[in-house]
Each structure stands twice: as structure tokens, then as C-alpha cells.
Structure 1
Amino acid sequence: MAEPVWITGIGLVSCLGEGPEAHAAALAGASPVVDEESFAPFPVHPLPALNLDRQIPKKGDQRQMEPWQRLGTYAAGLAIDHAGARGLVADMHLVVAAGGGERDIGLDEAITAELATLPPAEAAARLNERLANGLRPTLFLAQLSNLLAGNISIVHGVTGSSRTFMGEEAAAADAVRITAARLAEGRGGIALVGGAYVAARWDMLLLYAASGGLLRGAWAPMAERGEAGLVMGSVAAFLVLETASHARARGATGLAVLTGIATGAARRRGEDSAEASAAGLAARLPLRPGATVISGASGAAAATAAEARFLAGLPAPGPMVRSAESLGHSVEAAFPANLALATLVVQAGAPQALATGFGVWRGEALALVEPVA
């Protein structure tokens, strides 16, 4: 990187609470907060109670957002406040990793119940009719992925350039990588980057369940889950990234230096494996023995095993924290959350922290953070 990039603000919300202090518990192996009843047989890590008025003061703004948009907008405000950057939002760039919008579950259930009573010849025509007449036009607008960025701009006044990335876990890693690269190259001084995911959604749970990957029944540590090891978690994570010169000029304190970040997307077939991809990424970072690892292992069996093989090949890795044990797996929010936890590790005195990301189906990422000199 041409100029050092600092992390100057963290906005982090999960089942453990909000803010850096609440998430220090994750690094100490906190007992997870799990809801095993609401979406049985699938356990999820739920959101804590949030006072949305603190970051989204207008009730009208809150009502028009879907839950994942409210959560992301809330965490973005936390990051801005943590960085002391409220006066800089007009020039702050915004990069968001987002999934699709939330479905109208009530309508889905009504349609499927009706179709179950019809012969196949009539079902297709009735499906088209019900979708045309039942879906609200505003639902399609609410499902636009770039509306999280739009709501952050409206609520917090972030009016620099705006970009939204889609593509599950890999979208978040690339969002951070490209944001850091643009700052380091001199295309801006400060940026806000992150993502949000709400696990309490039947549509997404059933999607992951169809692959056979979701844990069923009682929560268990990741090592005891077997082939079906995913437990989803509601998480939002945003980071304020800033060039060192920009931060120094305004008297800001860097939380950590983002020393390097690298991303890849192995086919995960034959020699083009996830662990080989990650090993190639690690070779591009100034990684030293003993670095603390914030593991992006999700619990998905193949990806988690690939990460374990990659870590076994590192020269004397240090202590490891599996974030999904405490927070659950949060797709687009997972990598920014791991990077936030890595920052907390460095603040606590670790000389280096390596955040990893291994997507459930595709995408590998590594980010290295170090103390500000």
C-alpha cells in the first residue's frame, strides 16, 4: 500500500451486544447466546435488544427499512461515532456488502398452501396470478441491495462515493480490500465499509438447510457438530478506514494498521483447493510466527476443514479464536466482524492478528492488522 491505512472506528453488533467492550467477551470464549426455539430445529444467535433511536432517530426511517437494513444502519452509526468522525461524513466514502432483500413470508406461506390443493396443470398459472396480485410494488424496492447504503447516506449523511458489493462472504472481503486500496492510492482520506446479516429469517435458513449444512437441535461447539455445522448469527459490522495522514491531520487515534488484505476464489475442486488459495494469499502478507488468528471458519464442514489444513501449514500460528462459536456465521457481515475482532486483539497487545474468511461455498480472504507505531 502506498500509504498506511488505519482502522479508526468499529461498529459491531451481535448476540453479545454492541460495541468493542461487549465483544471483548468473544475473544475470551464467552458462552454463546443462542435461540433454539424460535426457528426449531435450527438454533440461531439472535440480536440483542437495541435502542434504534440512538442511531436512527426518525421513526419513519426505521419503519421503511427491513430488519437487516436497520441493523446495518445502526452499526454504521456506531462506527462513525467510535471514530469521532461525525463532522467528516460529507467526504466519507461508503462501501457496503449486501445480500438480497427479505421475502414476504406470509405471502409465500399463503401461496404454497393454495398451490398444494391444485393439480399441476393449474398450479403454474395460479402462481403467476398470485405473485402478480399479491406482491407490493414497494416490496421490490425494499429488496434492492444498495438500499442499505442509501439508508446509511440518508440517516448519517455519508455522501462521498457509494458502492455496494454482492456475493455472500466474498463480497465483504472484497469490499474491505478495494476500500483500503483506494485509500492507499490517494483516492480519498476516509471511508466506511461493512455489512449486515439477520439470521432470524426462515427464507435464508431454509436455503442453507436445503444444502444439508445447518445444525439441527441443540447448539454444540463447532468441533462437535459433524457434517452439518452451520449456526447462523445476526451480526452487523462496519469499520472506519482512514489514511494515516488524514487521521493524524485531525488528531485521530488509530486503533490498528491494516497492514495487508488479500482475497481469492478457488473452484474448490482438485488442486484448486480453498487451502491452496489461502496459502497463496498468505504469501502476499508480511505474516510473522505467533500471530493471533481470528478464524472465519463458519461450521460448514468442507470450508472449515480447508481452513484447518491451511492454518496447520502456517509457521507457528499463535492463539486462535473462532468467531462463529460466539457470534454465529453472518455471511456478508462475517469478514468485517472478524477484522473488528482482530483489531481488538491488537489493541490488547498482540503484535499481529490475522483475520480469515472461508465462504460456505466460495471465497477465501486474509487480512493482517498490527499496532499503530
Structure 2
Amino acid sequence: MAETHTTATQPVEAWITGIGLASSLSEGLDAHWQALNERRVNADATTFAPYVVHPLAPISFDQQIPKKGDQRQMEAWQRIGTYAAGLALDSAGIKGNKDILSKMDMIVAAGGGERDLAVDSAILNSEGQGNASPGYLNERLMNDLRPTLFLAQLSNLLAGNIAIVHGVTGSSRTFMGEEAAGTDAARIALARIAAGQSDIALIGAAQNGERKDLLMLYEFGDFNLKNAYQPVWARDGQPGFALGSGAAFVVIESRQHAEARGAKPLARLTNVVADLSHRKQPGDVTATLEKLWKKLGSPDNASAIITGATGAAPATAEERAFLEKHPGIAVRATGTSFGHLMESQFPLGLALAALAISRGALFPANDPTGLEIDTSAPPTQIVVVGAGHWRGEGMALVEAVS
């Protein structure tokens, strides 16, 4: 049960004090910062041809998940997420601190889990060959699936594994809803801290993009990038996203809580806003993003915009139209370097914004179209933008702590 807090009379300042990243580029903050500054991209157009994916970089999961038994019972996305969550706790300086972890709230954005392709294939082959007796499907599902593969609980398994492995045992929430779930994880965590209902929270998400079942699912909607890798803004002639494997977790806590334990901020999370455009008329996404921009306080003097633009049509073209209404602000699309991480895309944007502010620099542009511009000015205010490939829009304001 979550700890009871008194409601604050004034909004509480929220700091980002920890970041955990694992992706196709690398793992950890220093390695990611180097990769971004080198404009490195790890894209694979052959393994799942014709689909392009950003495969997970080599990781030794033992470093954050020491028990092999824990690793074996997790699906790949759970291992990736539990690993990145451990990195975030390390970054915040609270790994193994039972007093803090026992009160730490957790909000995870999650998909529906992974299919067991061997079981699915055996069932479909038997059905297709006429070898399936009455009750065959139920018998196979009961006998062949892992005990943990219970469909109603799949999305909760990442939070459960983080609690087991790392001891994060305050309140726990799991949101579903693709990109919008990641936005809401940040929005709700900030709202609870600002209201004095939470002192410290771990938020984030994970995805294994190297999955034939996931590629098939998105191919039904014609969302996949095919044949050759291109940076996000260069996909006009061939729109689509390249799924990425990775995870992003962020520790958010009240300034008072951080100062009491001597923690230093990477950045301040000032505001998170979200909306759901109807997307029935051309320009609906552009109009919704403009509305969110105003709700965020019209930060036209922002140092940069970090966007999770997917590359899918028509959402990305409409997002680009919004960005072009705010010229002079340096734009960075995370999908170019990381691929599309779905639920993780917005937490990834928050993590990179806080990292850039803490390093006193914005990583360089990686865009042949000219939309992204380089800047040498230390960023003090970064807007994180997320427009889902199908539904959901969100924005966050991340600022330097003076």
C-alpha cells in the first residue's frame, strides 16, 4: 500500500535525479552521450528483411539482474526494462537503499507482452493440416505456454520484476496505450509529486523490437519502415517507423526529498501535458500540438525540442508542420538514432533532455533534410514532444535547475 502524504498547498518542484538507458546504441549515460555525439546509428535491414529494426546493443544482464533464475523467467522486454531500471536507480544513488525503495512509487508504460512463436506456429500448422482435434487449442495453450504467460498479467510483469529484483515496493501502476502510455507515466508521476502525494517515483518503459509477431502486427497497418534505413525526417517518400529495442527509466523526486538525501539534480521536470487528437481531418495533429504548446506556456525561447517523431504517415508530416511554425529552435528526433521504442519513446525524450541539460550541451543534429540545426549554446530549457503513430500527443518541459 502506498504511503499516505499530506497534500501540498503549493506545487512541489520535481527534479530528475536518475536516468537509466539501454538501447541499440549502448547502455549507460556516458556511452550514450558518446554515441550521440558521434552520430552513431545501429540499424539492421537484413535480419527481418524487408523491415528495418534497431537491435539491442550487447548487454551483460548479470550486472543488474544477478540471479539467472530471474532472467530466465522474464521475456526479453522485461529483462531490458529491469536492467535499465537498475541503471536509473544507480544513477540516482539509491540502488539497494531499502528505506527509500520501500516508499518509492513506480509507473511503468507497457505493451501486451510477447508471443511464443514456436507454440503459435505449431498450432497454426496443425490447424492448417487438419490435425487439430476438438479442444486442441485449449490443450496446447494450457500445456505449452510458460506459467508466467497469463494474458491478463503480461503488462504488469515488468513492474513486478523491477519490484522483485530491485526492491521498489511503493505503489505500482502500469499504463497501456502505446506512445501515450509513456506520456501519462510522466504526467501522473509529476502530478503526484507536485501535489505532495509522492516523494520519489521511478517511471519508464521497455521494448523488444526484434520480434516477428510485432513486425507483423504493425505491418497490418502499413507502419513499418522497409528495405533501407533513413533518418526520420528523410522518409517522406517511404514513411514508416523502424522498431527499436531498448528501455528508458527516469527517477523523479521532490526537491525537498532530493536535498534531504544530498542528491544533485540532472534537470527539473516542470510540466507535462497530454491530449488525444481525433485525427479525422488533415492538420488535426498540428492543431493539437499547437494547443499543447500553449498549455506548456508557449516556450518559444526554448533551447531545443526533442521529439519522438515516428516517421509514420501522416502524423510525422503534421508534426513537422508544427515544428516549422517554431523556427530557430534546435530539433532532435530520437527515432533517427534509437528507432521507435513505442511506450519508451517519451521517457527516452525526458532522459535525453535531462542528460543534455546536465552535460551543458545539446548532442549534434543527424538529419540530411535541414530541419535539425546545430547549436553550441548550453541548453537551459528543452521541450519533449511525442505524437503517437496512431493516437496520442504529449509534451513536457524540462529545465535546468538554477
Give me the TM-score of the superposition, normalised by structure 1: 0.93
Q: Does 1:360 align with 2:389?
A: yes
Alignment partner, residue 164 of structure 1: 174
Match of 1:194 among 182, 189, 204: 204
Amino acid of the residue matched to residue 24 of structure 1?
A: W
Counterpart-to-counterpart distance in 2, 1:370 and 1:311: 20
Q: For structure 1, which segment, 124-133 or 320-329, has the greater mean C-alpha deviation from structure 2 after superposition?
A: 124-133
Match for residue 274 of structure 1 among 285, 296, 307? 285
Decide which of 86, 90, 94 is 2:106's aligned counterpart: 94
2:249 to 210, 213, 238: 238
Consecutive unaligned residues in structure 2, runs of 5 or more: 1-9, 361-377
Would you say 1:301 and 2:310 are equivalent positions?
no
SS in 1 for 2:225: coil
Mapped to 2, the partners of 1:368 and 1:208 lie a distance apart of 30
Deviation at 1:145, TM superposition (A): 0.8
RMSD between superposed Cα atoms in Å: 2.1
Cross-structure match for 2:4 = none
What's the CA shift string for 1:180-229, capped at 9, x where partnerless? 11011101211100000110111111111111121111212233333432
Superposed, 1:143-292 pairs within 5 Å as 144-225=154-235, 226-270=237-281, 273-286=284-297, 287-292=299-304
Specify the code of the residue in structure 1 equivalent to 2:385.
Answer: T
Greater helix content = 1
Gaps of 5+ in 1: none
Alpha-carbon distance in 1 for matches of 2:275, 2:187: 11
Report the CA distance shift for 1:200/1:142 in structure 2 as closer, same or farther (over 3 A).
Answer: farther
% identical aligned pairs = 50
Normalization by structure 2: what TM-score? 0.87
Which residue of the partner structure matches residue 58 of structure 1? 67
User: What residue is the counterpart of 2:88 in the other structure?
Assistant: 79
Cα deviation for residue 126 of structure 1 reads: 5.5
| Contact kept in structure 1, 2:115 and 2:213, CA below 8 Å | yes
Q: Shift of residue 344 of structure 1?
A: 1.8
Q: Deviations over 1:286-309 (max 9, x none)?
A: 313243011111111211112111
Do the aligned partners of 1:27 and 1:321 also contact (CA within 8 Å) in 2? no
What is the rounded CA distance, in whole Å, between the counterparts of 1:142 and 1:26 in structure 2? 38
Q: CA contact under 8 A between 2:283 and 2:318: conserved in structure 1?
A: no
**2: distance between equivalents of 1:99 and 1:135?**
19
Change (3 A) 1:133 1:147: closer
**Alignment of 1:20 onto 2:29:** yes
**Pair 1:175–1:251, CA change in 2 (3 A):** same
Matched, 1:5 2:14: yes
Question: Cα gap change, 1:323/1:25 in structure 2, threshold over 3 Å: closer, same or farther?
Answer: farther
Distance 1:371 1:47 in 2: 31
Regions of 4+ moved over 3 Å? 25-29, 122-138
CA change 1:326–1:271 in 2 (3 A) is: closer
CA contact (8 A) 2:21 2:27 kept: yes
Distance 1:370 1:319 in 2: 15
Which range is displaced more, 73-82 or 136-145? 136-145
Letter in 2 for 1:252: A
Once the two structures are superposed, the pairs formed by residues 25-44 of structure 1 within 5 Å of their partners are 25=34, 27-28=36-37, 30-44=39-53
Secondary structure class of the residue paired with 1:236: strand
**1:113 aligned onto 2:125:** yes
Q: Per-residue deviation at 1:135?
A: 3.6
Out of 64-73 and 133-142, give the one that drifted further: 133-142
Aligned partner of 1:350: which letter? Answer: P
Moved more, 216-225 or 10-19: 216-225
**CA distance in 2: counterparts of 1:294 and 1:214, whole angstroms:** 22
Q: Distance in 1 between matches of 2:395 and 2:134?
A: 46
Please give the alpha-carbon distance, in whole angstroms, between the structure 2 residues aligned to 1:79 and 1:92. Answer: 13
- 1:372 has 2:401 as partner: yes
Q: 2: distance between equivalents of 1:234 and 1:79?
A: 17
Equivalent residue letter for 1:282: W
Query: What's the offset of the Cα at 1:114?
Result: 2.7
The one-letter code of the counterpart of 1:371 is A
**1:26, 1:323 within 8 Å by CA — same for their partners in 2?**
no
